[in-house]
């Protein structure tokens, strides 16, 4: 299986040479930034950080007694909110989250104080020596209950943060045309990111004027902004260098700003480098998760098997702080209907405070949760109408004739949803049947997705990217981009784009990890936009560079500049391949003439219009579709699910690097399968009770199904040479397909995720059998719960 996001495969460096007591970052920055995992970094005089946190989900802070901790040997600093020189705020969008609590805690794990000591053991002892006195307050842990009258308030302004809507067509009128109506409530659980490398950073101060942060992160510019805010420094005074990052999946988008601000604050006060690296248990207890959601459906179809209307109401559990919840809700809101033509739609998505761990970015960004519900309802309606689930999708899927989404966007032709569906079915039909043992049942399920590529309209201001391309005198190339590699293949994609554009072999191109002092703010590495945005910025830089390169090559070739093409390591005359000179010769000539051989590039998405009140307009720049077909084996007695095979067909625009593409699809399928079948967050009163991979069960290599992949090219995207993102579409259809396959195997409806054995066994006891559904009169509206 090709490597997925969690396996960066980057080399470790040898130990750093000794330096002075206060080393300047630029003396060793390239070594640290390019070759060292943050957990391996060590500098003379470096301190180790630890956190004092709340063990209650909701409480008043009565007292913090710090004197015993401060008196311990090797303890250098113990800080509280009173020691923050700038703003005590780390909220990435809303200023609702303090770096350090002042008088109130709202979640288990909320930070109360920071410790810096000369060893990890001393830091841990200091944490244990801090005496914390908390007065418990009522808490709320369900997003629906949080909106009930009299519910405990997480914040004074109320528990409802915001409601998003999609309103299209007359639901009441189309309701009367439906011959079958299906109602359900789905409870979709959260998910741990399970990246290989826990959260970690190293902050190196230069007095109190500047600080450099080395971080395992997806978004170094987010980290830069948070550290500058907390320390009261300018952005130019805060340098952030991404270290090789062992997986992200969204968990290293906004959250790394918090440990980075902690380490930077301690470094600012002590004048010494400070490293903060979480243990796995701490990471799982404190960091953000995929949002848990309650999704309520009322969908209707007519006797011809056509959807008439769809109503969706979603309650998103934001946890104690907003973080990125409103942004995740934007995608969930417009993704709730999927790739289907529905004449009348009403979607409401409520973002709700609770006293749970806060939700954040996770691969798919809200779309997987609503897609599970949408695809489940499609299957239920199909069975109620006596139709095969695939046939029901054929009658309703968007295509070149019906290409208007629920947000009123007319998709560009060709629309490949039907082709993806049909090809997945064809491929599944050519594979051997899945074998089942005694007492096991086999089922098949389908999941379709319409994925909005790039950032939602609400995040348009961040939809940008910067690149720097340097042509060296020997013809090699250095490329700097502002988007990050975390094992998903961005570096190889950027290398491929730069090599292709300059006509050099890929091994001649060196791509550097991001450094906020060398490239402009490029927004977040999210939404499957890495190759798209970074690649487009690189192409822009190459275009600018060629304004100076082509005239030099033309002189050497004795042709007009417009006839110069770069291919196979040579500059040559278009149409006359025998007239060529090595690109290295052109580069050397540019250097000899002192012609600038560096260029910057920039990308920004096209402006779009979107009405937030109705959810109508250009939510995304362009779209991709995908279909996954899953085959499962279920032990009905034990409630155990084995995913045996997944067929994945994706509309990719243009394949840039096939091994990286297939690696992303493999990884997305396994991660989605794990969430669907085994990855249960056991949260009780806001505390995670299974914060380890012993009790939180992620798939192993032996659990991976047989995967068959087909990439359909032709529907061009906006990426380099028409490519589209693959990181998130590779996951989104899998949980829906697996859930539908389990229901097909057992002949029951399942309304929870993940499908751990207790959920399946309990559902078999209640039995919502398909046979019961089929017995209802076809002309009667039926609600099923």
Burial of 765 (0-12, 13-18, 19+ CB in 10 A): exposed
Please report the pLDDT score of residue 18 as a whole number. Answer: 30
Average pLDDT over every residue of 249-276? 98
User: What pLDDT score does 246 carry?
Assistant: 86
Give the pLDDT band (50/70/90) at residue 768.
low
Cβ atoms of residues 101 and 58 within 8 Å = no
- Which residue, among 484, 480, 529, 33, has the nearest Cα to 220 in the 3D structure? 484
What is the set of domains in the chain, with CATH numbers?
13-35+464-604 (3.30.365.10), 38-137+193-286 (3.90.1170.50), 293-456+612-773 (3.30.365.10)
Which neighbouring-strand residues pair with 319? 353
Residue 265, pLDDT above cutoff 80: yes
Q: Tell me which residue of 438, 602, 618, 460 sits closest to 534, measured CA to CA.
A: 602
Helix or strand or coil: residue 481?
Answer: strand
3-state secondary structure of 458: helix
pTM of the model: 0.92
> Is residue 98 within 8 Å of 89, Cβ to Cβ?
yes
CA distance 218 to 578: 45
Look up residue 13 and give its DSSP letter.
P
Cβ distance 408 to 168 under 8 Å?
yes
Catalytic residue among 110, 330, 565, 728: 728
| Torsion sign across C-alpha atoms 8, 193, 248, 667 | positive
CA distance 514 to 252: 14
Helix (H) or strand (E) holding 275: strand 274-277
Q: Average per-residue pLDDT in the chain? A: 92
User: pLDDT tens-digit profile of 555-597?
Assistant: 999 999 999 999 999 999 999 999 999 999 999 999 999 999 9
Q: b/e for 634-651, b at 16 or more Cβ within 10 A?
A: bbbeebbbbbbbbbbbbb
Digit-coded pLDDT (tens) for 672-685: 999 999 999 999 99
SS (H, E, C) 608-653: CCEECCCCEECCCCEEEEEEEEEEEEEECCCCEEEEEEEEEEEEEE
| Residue 11: predicted pLDDT | 26
pLDDT at position 315: 98
Beta bridge partners of 468: 480, 600
pLDDT at residue 780 tops 80: no
Provide the token pair at 395. 């009658």
For residue 635, what are its two tokens?
Answer: 């032990």
pLDDT 10s digits, 310-333: 999 999 999 999 999 999 999 999
DSSP state of 410: B
Report CA dihedral (46, 47, 50, 52) to the nearest 10 degrees: -150
Phi, psi of 222 (to 5 degrees): -65, -45
Alpha-carbon distance values, 525 to 147, 476, 482, 619, 697 (Å): 33, 26, 9, 19, 27
3-state secondary structure of 52: strand
Q: What is the pLDDT of residue 773?
A: 41
In the residue annotation, 331 being an active-site residue is answered as yes
Question: Does residue 160 have a cis peptide bond before it, meaning omega lies within 30 degrees of 0?
Answer: no
Mapped onto helix, strand or coil, the DSSP state of residue 439 is: coil
Q: What is the pLDDT of residue 37?
A: 82
Q: Cα(152)–Cα(104) distance, rounded to whole angstroms?
A: 14
Alpha-carbon gap, residue 75 to 122, rounded angstroms: 6
Enumerate residues 6+ apart whose C-beta is below 8 A from 217: 201, 223, 240, 242, 245, 248, 252, 256, 260, 484
In the prediction, which pLDDT does 440 show?
Answer: 95
Distance CA 361, CA 363 (A): 7
DSSP 124-164: HHHHHH-EEEEEE------TTGGGSTTPPPSSTT-SEEEEE
Q: What are the tens digits of pLDDT across the range 150-208?
A: 999 999 999 999 999 999 999 999 999 999 999 999 999 999 999 999 999 999 999 99
- pLDDT category at 765 given cuts 50, 70, 90 is confident
| Burial degree of 495 (CB within 10 A; 0-12, 13-18, 19+) | buried
Number of C-beta neighbours around residue 781 at 10 A: 16
Residue range 256-279: mean pLDDT, rounded: 98
Contacts of residue 665, Cβ cutoff 8 Å, sequence gap at least 6: 648, 650, 707, 709, 726, 730
Q: Which of 680, 690, 688, 695 has its CA nearest to residue 55? A: 688
Confidence of residue 10 (pLDDT cuts 50, 70, 90): very low
Would you call 728 a catalytic residue per the annotation? Answer: yes
Q: Where are the beta strands (DSSP E) in 424-563?
A: 440-453, 464-471, 477-481, 509-512
Length of the chain: 785
The tens digit of pLDDT for each residue in 478-492 reads: 999 999 999 999 999
- What per-residue confidence (pLDDT) applies to 267? 98
Question: What is the distance between the alpha carbons of residues 168 and 295, in angstroms, rounded to a whole number?
Answer: 19
What are the C-alpha distances in Å from 681 to residues 117, 127, 295, 671, 691? 33, 26, 18, 15, 8
- Whether pLDDT at 146 is above 50: yes
Contact 687, 661 (CB under 8 A): no
- Residue recorded with tokens 């007519």: 302
- Which tokens is 760 given? 């399946």
Q: Are 359 and 318 in contact (CB under 8 A)?
A: yes
For residue 227, give the nearest of 31, 116, 85, 106 by alpha carbon.
Answer: 85
3 state DSSP class of 667:
helix
Alpha carbons 618 and 452: distance in angstroms, whole number: 10
**pLDDT tens column, 117-127:** 999 999 999 99
What is the reported pLDDT for 325?
A: 98
- Distance from chain centroid for Cα 653: 21
640 has pLDDT over 80: yes
pLDDT at 25 over 90: no
* Segment among 124-128, 139-143, 326-330, 524-528 with least mean pLDDT: 524-528
Residues 717-744, mean pLDDT to the nearest whole number: 96
Convert the pLDDT of each residue in 284-318 to its tens digit.
Answer: 999 999 999 999 999 999 999 999 999 999 999 99
Say how many C-beta atoms besides its own lie within 10 A of residue 206's C-beta: 15
State the pLDDT confidence band at 782, using cuts at 50, 70 and 90.
very low
For residue 405, what are its two tokens? 């989404």
Mean pLDDT on 245-264? 96
Whether residue 265 contacts residue 81, with contact meaning beta carbons closer than 8 Å, is answered with no
The yes-or-no verdict on residue 4 having pLDDT over 50 is no
pLDDT of residue 770: 57
Q: Of these residues, 229, 298, 331, 536, which one is catalytic?
A: 331
Distances, alpha carbon 219 to alpha carbons 93, 255, 525, in Å: 14, 10, 6
Query: Would you say residue 610 has pLDDT above 90?
Result: yes
Q: How many other C-beta atoms can be found within 10 angstroms of the C-beta atom of residue 56?
A: 21
Q: Identify the pLDDT of residue 766.
A: 78
Is the pLDDT score of 27 beyond 80? no
């Amino acid at each position: 299986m090709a490597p997925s996001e969690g396996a960066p495969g980057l080399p470790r460096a040898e130990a750093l040479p000794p330096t002075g007591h206060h080393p300047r970052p630029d003396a060793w920055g390239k070594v640290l930034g390019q070759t060292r995992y943050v957990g391996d970094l060590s500098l003379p005089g470096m301190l180790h950080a630890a956190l004092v946190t709340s063990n209650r989900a909701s409480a008043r802070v009565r007292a913090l007694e710090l004197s015993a901790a401060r008196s311990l040997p090797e303890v250098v600093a113990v800080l509280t909110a009173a020691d923050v020189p700038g703003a005590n705020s780390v909220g990435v969008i809303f200023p609702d989250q303090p770096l350090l609590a002042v008088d109130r805690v709202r979640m288990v794990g909320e930070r109360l104080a920071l410790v810096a000591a000369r060893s990890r053991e001393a830091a841990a002892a200091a944490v244990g020596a801090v005496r914390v006195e908390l007065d418990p307050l009522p808490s709320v842990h369900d997003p629906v209950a949080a909106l009930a009258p009299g519910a405990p308030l997480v914040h004074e302004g109320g528990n409802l943060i915001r409601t998003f809507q999609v309103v299209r067509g007359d639901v009441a009128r189309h309701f009367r045309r439906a011959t079958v109506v299906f109602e359900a409530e789905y409870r979709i659980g959260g998910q741990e990111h399970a990246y290989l490398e826990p959260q970690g950073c190293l902050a190196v101060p230069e007095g109190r004027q500047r600080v450099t942060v080395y971080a395992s992160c997806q978004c170094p510019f987010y980290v830069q902004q948070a550290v500058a805010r907390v320390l009261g420094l300018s952005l130019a005074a805060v340098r952030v260098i991404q270290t090789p990052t062992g997986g992200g999946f969204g968990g290293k988008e906004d959250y790394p700003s918090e440990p980075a601000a902690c380490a930077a604050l301690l470094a600012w006060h002590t004048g010494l480098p400070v490293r903060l690296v979480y243990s796995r248990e701490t990471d799982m207890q404190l960091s953000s998760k995929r949002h848990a959601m309650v999704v309520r459906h009322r969908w209707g179809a007519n006797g011809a098997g056509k959807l008439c209307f769809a109503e969706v109401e979603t309650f998103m559990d934001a946890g104690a702080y907003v973080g990125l919840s409103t942004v995740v809700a934007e995608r969930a809101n417009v993704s709730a209907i999927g790739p289907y033509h529905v004449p009348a739609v009403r979607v409401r998505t409520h973002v709700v405070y609770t006293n749970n761990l806060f939700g954040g970015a996770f691969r798919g960004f809200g779309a997987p949760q609503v897609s599970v519900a949408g695809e489940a309802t499609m299957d239920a309606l199909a069975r109620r109408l006596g139709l095969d689930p695939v046939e029901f999708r054929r009658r309703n899927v968007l295509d070149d004739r019906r290409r208007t989404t629920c947000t009123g966007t007319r998709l560009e032709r060709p629309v490949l949803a039907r082709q993806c569906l049909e090809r997945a079915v064809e491929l599944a039909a050519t594979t051997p049947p899945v074998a089942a043992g005694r007492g096991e049942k086999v089922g098949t399920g389908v999941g379709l997705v319409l994925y909005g590529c790039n950032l939602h309209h609400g995040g348009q201001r961040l939809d940008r990217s910067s690149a720097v391309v340097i042509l060296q005198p020997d013809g090699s190339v250095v490329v700097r981009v502002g988007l990050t590699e975390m094992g998903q293949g961005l570096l190889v994609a950027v290398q491929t784009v730069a090599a292709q554009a300059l006509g050099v072999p890929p091994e001649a191109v060196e791509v550097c990890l991001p450094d906020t002092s060398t490239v402009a703010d490029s927004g977040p590495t999210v939404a499957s936009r890495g190759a798209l945005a970074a690649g487009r910025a690189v192409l822009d830089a190459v275009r600018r560079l060629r304004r100076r390169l082509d005239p030099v090559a033309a002189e050497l070739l004795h042709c007009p500049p417009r006839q110069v093409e770069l291919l196979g390591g040579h500059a040559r005359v278009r149409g006359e391949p025998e007239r060529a000179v090595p690109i290295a010769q052109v580069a050397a000539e540019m250097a000899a003439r002192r012609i600038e051989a560096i260029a910057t590039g920039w990308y920004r998405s096209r402006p779009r219009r979107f009405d937030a009140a109705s959810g109508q307009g250009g939510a995304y720049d362009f779209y991709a579709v995908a279909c996954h077909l899953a085959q499962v084996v279920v032990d009905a007695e034990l409630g155990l699910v084995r995913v045996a095979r997944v067929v994945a067909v994706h509309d990719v625009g243009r394949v840039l690097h096939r091994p990286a593409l297939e690696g992303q699809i493999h990884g997305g399928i396994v991660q989605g399968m794990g969430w669907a079948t085994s990855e249960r967050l056991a949260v009780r009163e806001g505390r995670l009770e299974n914060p380890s991979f012993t009790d939180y069960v992620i798939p192993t290599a032996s659990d991976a199904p047989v995967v068959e992949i087909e990439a359909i090219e032709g529907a061009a995207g906006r990426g380099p040479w028409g490519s589209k993102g693959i990181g998130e579409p590779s996951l989104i259809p899998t949980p829906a397909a697996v859930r539908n396959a389990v229901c097909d195997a057992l002949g029951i409806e399942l309304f929870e995720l993940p499908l751990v054995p207790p959920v399946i066994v309990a559902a078999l006891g209640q039995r919502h059998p398909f046979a019961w559904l089929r017995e209802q009169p076809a002309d009667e509206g039926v609600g099923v719960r």
